[in-house]
Amino acid sequence: MKNKLNSIIIFIFLSFCFVVFYKGLNNSNIYTPKINDEKNIPIFKAKDFNSNINIESEKIFEENTYYIVNIWASWCVPCRKEHPLLMELSKNQSVKLIGLNYRDNLNNAKNFIIELGNPYSQILIDNDGTLGVEFGAYGVPETFLIDKNKKIIKKFIGQINQEIVDEIKSIIK
């Protein structure tokens, strides 16, 4: 009967919709696009924090090592909280930390470093946030792990915790 066929089709379709919505509920609501395809690091020029000279990105990332790019600011409270973990990571020989000082006042930023210590082998200035956009950042704090092929392999949005530090350590061994 045509009616019966119709109702079966509709029933199957609706059940499918139900399953999709149900699964959709359980998905994380934080839209973080996964880095399935690893991206190359952007090519850019930025001012160095201490010397105030423009440096090219090729020079910054020239060594054959892992890099961590960490976006921070003196006014950012979670940055303060994650700083000790960055200090811990900086002691690791297989990785160099590059800091991106995001939309900050130079004096306040310098005081921040003096007060909490400097885990960074180099710090770059990002006055207007555009350098962050080149990395695909959402804001601050944000941390990127870059491998020896100069590809961004991990992105951590928000304050990093011990779990993330352990994950990074296991990758860079």
Question: What is the binding site for another protein (CB under 8 A)?
Answer: 3, 7, 10-11, 14, 18, 20-27, 29, 31, 33-34, 39, 103, 128-130, 132-136, 138-139
Name which of 21 and 93 has its Cβ closer to another protein.
21
Q: How far is the CB of 2 from another protein (least distance, A)?
A: 12
Nearer to another protein, 23 or 173 (CB): 23
Nearest CB to another protein, comparing residues 121 and 139: 139
CA distances from 16 to 10, 22, 71 (A): 10, 10, 43
Closest separation in Å from C-beta 159 to another protein? 15
Contact indicator for 106, 72 with CB cutoff of 8 Å: no
CB-nearer residue toward another protein: 20 or 149: 20
Residue pair 136/39 in contact by the 8 Å Cβ criterion: yes
Q: Is the dihedral of CA 149, 99, 32, 27 positive or negative?
A: positive
Minimum Å gap between C-beta 61 and another protein is: 18
**Closest CB 22 distance from another protein, rounded Å:** 6
Cα gap 110→118, rounded to integer Å = 10
**Whole-number Å distance between alpha carbons of 96 and 24:** 39
Q: How many CA atoms lie within 13 A of 26 on its CB side?
A: 5
| Cβ 17 to another protein shortest distance, Å | 8
Cβ proximity to another protein: between 25 and 114 the closer is 25
Q: Which residues contact 58 (CB under 8 A, 6 or more apart)?
A: 43
